[in-house]
Amino acid sequence: MKVRVAFGEKGALLAAERGHIVIVVDTLRASTTVTTALENGAERVIPVRTVKNAKKLFQSLVSKHPREKVVLAGERRGLRIPGFDLGNSPLEFTRSVVEGKIVILTTTNFTKVVSSALKAPFIMAGCLRNAMAAASLAMREAAKQGRNVTIVHSGRKGFFTPEDYITAVVIKNFMEGRREPEGFERCVFNSPSAKYLASIGLGEDVKYCAQLNQSKTVPVIEFTSFVGRLISPF
C-alpha cells in the first residue's frame, strides 16, 4: 500500500481516476468544520461547490423537511455568506445548533476539491483534530480494499497553503508509524490563511483548528454527503 500527497482539484481528480482512497485536507477551516459538525451530532454534511447550488439544494430540502432540520452554511473570503444560517467557523457548529440536522456547506476551496474527488472509491476529510483517527481509518480501508491512499491538501484558490500541506504530512507520518513533524503548529499559526483569519477576527478558529488529535470522528462520503465514523485510532 502506498501513501502519496497530492495538491488541489487536479490532485483529487487524478487520485480518483487511479482508484485511490482519498483524504481531503483543508485545515483552516472546512475539514475541521465538517469533523466538528459530525462530532456534534449533525446527521450529515453535504458539500456543495457553489453558493447558487447550495441555495437550490436548501430550497429542495426544506420542501421535504421541517425548516429547522436544515442548516445552510458557508463562507466566501472567510465570512458567512449573507442569508446563510452559519459561516465556516467550526466553533459555530455546536451540538445545540447542529445535532440531528442536515448541513449544507459551501466553501471557497474544500467543497470544490471534494467534488473533484467524488469518483474515488472512498473519500474522507482529514484535519489536525482528527489526524490519527483519519490515518487509522485510511490504513484499515486501504488494507480491506487493496488500494493506495492519496492525501490531498486543498490549498487556496489553486495556490499552495502550508497549513494544509503540513496536515497532510502529519497524517502520512501517522500512517507510516512516525510522529508528527516538529513545529507543525508554528507552520499553521504563521500561515497566510491563519493571519487572514485573525485579521477578520477569527483567530480563535485558528487555535481550535491547530489542535492535534482531539477528535475520533472521521467524515466519510456516502453518496454525496459526509457522515461521521467514530474511529478508535491504532
Q: How far is the CB of 8 from ligand MLT (least distance, A)?
A: 11
Q: Is 107 a binder of ligand MLT (CB under 6 A)? A: yes
Nearest Cα to Cα of residue 170 among 157, 159, 185, 190: 185
As a residue count, the chain comes to 234
Three-point CA angle 98, 101, 50, nearest 5°: 95
Q: How far is the CB of 108 from ligand MLT (least distance, A)?
A: 4
Q: Is 24 a binder of ligand MLT (CB under 6 A)? A: no
User: Which C-beta is closer to ligand MLT: that of 15 or that of 114?
Assistant: 114
Part of the chain binding ligand MLT (CB under 6 A), chosen from 54-62, 104-112, 170-178, 181-189: 104-112
Q: Under DSSP, is residue 68 helix (H, G, I), strand (E, B) or coil? A: helix
User: Which C-beta is closer to ligand MLT: that of 30 or that of 149?
Assistant: 30
In Å, how far are 53, 74, 139, 220, 223 from 227, measured between CA atoms?
20, 18, 19, 5, 10
Q: Is 109 a binder of ligand MLT (CB under 6 A)? A: yes
Q: Is 74 a binder of ligand MLT (CB under 6 A)? A: no
Q: Is 164 a binder of ligand MLT (CB under 6 A)? A: no
Q: How far is the CB of 63 from ligand MLT (least distance, A)?
A: 28
Note whether 162 and 22 are within 8 A (CB).
no
How many residues contact ligand MLT, by CB under 6 A? 12
**What is the grid cell recorded at 114?**
471534494
